[in-house]
Amino acid sequence: MGTIYERFVRPLLFQLDPETAHHLAVRCLELSSLAPSIWQLVQAKPDPRLSKDLFGLHFPNPIGLAAGFDKNAVALPAWAGLGFGFAEVGTITSVRQDGNPKPRIFRIPESEALINRLGFNNEGAERIALRLEGLKKSGRWPRIPVGINLGKSRTVPLEKAAEDYGRAFKSLSHLGDYFVLNVSSPNTPGLRQLQERDAIKELFSVVGSEAAGKPILVKIAPDLDWRQVESVLEMAESQGLNGVIATNTTTDHTAIPARFRTEGGLSGLPLRRRAMEVLQFVKERSKLPVISVGGIMSAEEALRRLDIGADLVQIYTGFIYRGPGLIREILKGFPAELKSLEPPG
């Protein structure tokens, strides 16, 4: 499947504007989600050896879809059908917003990378909640954990950010299996300031008080210095958060040719080294579970993250460049490396 995608499907998609191609792909997956029988015919039987229990949830396998692809949660059955062990939707804000001006997604094929400056474009928490409620009632809800990634509304000042996240969480709290506080996107002005000690403490406190048993994670930037990472970890542990997602996109574009550099967050292969460094740092200094994301473009890289200590991994840009075959490639690579999934001792 990977070969078919890379030889035939990707060249066609890459002839389109990146955002147009993205909308086309999501629309196709959305339509296929209306007929679950399609996925029942092609979906491989889960290998119980690859399952993972974490946050009180059961993950059929440790490979997840990262936030940003299915922003409005329109294709959940398809993600399970493609073989993902979990899917994270969003980023979702308390109110609908259009995001930044176009163009706002840029491919860098020679680096297997993307730059995006989308700016949390989404339909808003209340409308997405109605969609997810309808999906549950239809009986098409996927049998994989569903994460919901929450962000700050652009029109809300930083001093009101905690309340804004809280409003979004209340609208969706009965629907997600776990929730992620996205305080690390580079595309909402001032957002990364929420990673500073006092701001993040307030945010964790407000959302944590409403959690009602739902796992809450924080997604951090790869551009933090080690002191800042330690501060986030300290606050996460003291406020009872359940885990960390490391990392978001980077504003450091030195790893790509100068002609491709533009405003926005860089993802894909150039992020691999830094994402791995942050993963190692977090695992050495915290007992919190970690979902590793950033630069996972092959089965070898996914296994490497798990060997370092990641509890789960997520892909996004790798899915765009390699297609559904990447998921199958990773899953096939696991049997010889099952020790990487076993708990210590």
Tally of CA atoms within 13 A in the half-sphere of 317 that contains its CB: 26
In this prediction, residue 233 carries a pLDDT of 93
What pTM, to 2 d.p., does this model score? 0.92
Report in angstroms the alpha-carbon separations of 319 from 71, 86, 159, 202, 286: 15, 14, 36, 35, 29
Residue 122 makes CB contacts below 8 A (sequence gap 6+) with 71, 72, 90, 91, 92, 93, 96, 97, 99, 128
> Per the CATH hierarchy, to which homologous superfamily does domain 2-337 belong?
Aldolase class I (3.20.20.70)
**231 in catalytic set:** no
Strands of the sheet containing 265-268, edge to edge, are 105-108, 113-116, 265-268
In this prediction, residue 34 carries a pLDDT of 81
In this prediction, residue 213 carries a pLDDT of 84
In this prediction, residue 301 carries a pLDDT of 94
In this prediction, residue 168 carries a pLDDT of 95
DSSP state of 97: B
In this prediction, residue 179 carries a pLDDT of 95
CB 18 within 8 A of CB 118: no
In this prediction, residue 42 carries a pLDDT of 60
Residues of the chain with pLDDT under 50: 337, 339-341, 343-345
> Active-site residue among 185, 231, 267, 286?
185
Ordered by start, the domain boundaries in the chain are 2-337
In this prediction, residue 340 carries a pLDDT of 47
